[in-house]
Amino acid sequence: MSNLVSIILVAILGVFGNIVYFEYQTNKKKSKDILKQKLTDLLLPLYVILHLKEVSMDAWLSSGEGDYAEAHSDLPTRVLPLIEKIIEENIYLANDSLHEACLDFLQWAYSSNERERFQEIKRGSFDSSIRDKDFRKFYDIVVYEYNNARHQYIK
């Protein structure tokens, strides 16, 4: 009788263990799929637009060929059309800090006046640390989130 109870108990525990393991593997796969979608649809496009294109813009400006005032004054209109569509279609993939930064970025871009920025830069009264703090915050969060998600996905 005790052998029969032991066999039934082992069978029940085996089935229960397999169910728990299957659930664990399924949840792990789903979270990896969501992370992949977040990377490919939201973070990578934002990272490419913000980081790589702005790095190339900085290199162009430092080469002496570019006009600093023009490049800095058209920053909102240069990045907004590209980023706006990505945010509109994929903001649901953003975590809380990125979501807030996206909204602050859109507010900053829509409220920036290119002509006013250009005139302030030419007069020397333009303080980019104050005027572009929402852009800088958005940029920093996108770069951080991209690198973090990429490392997490690779693991």
43-68 residue pLDDT tens: 999 999 988 877 888 777 778 777 77
Q: What does the pLDDT look like over 68-117, one tens digit per residue?
A: 777 778 888 888 998 999 999 999 999 999 999 999 999 999 998 888 88
Place of tokens 């058209």: 74
pTM: 0.78
State how far the Cα of 151 lies from the Cα of 95, in Å rounded to an integer. Answer: 16
CA-CA distance, 70 to 96, in Å (whole number)? 34
Please provide the distance, in angstroms rounded to a whole number, between the alpha carbons at the two ends of the chain.
48
Tell which residue, 142, 145, 138, 143, has the closest CA to residue 76.
138
Tokens for 33?
Answer: 């799929």
Residue located via tokens 């393991």: 21
Q: What is the length of the chain?
A: 155
Is there a contact between 42 and 93 (Cβ–Cβ < 8 Å)?
yes
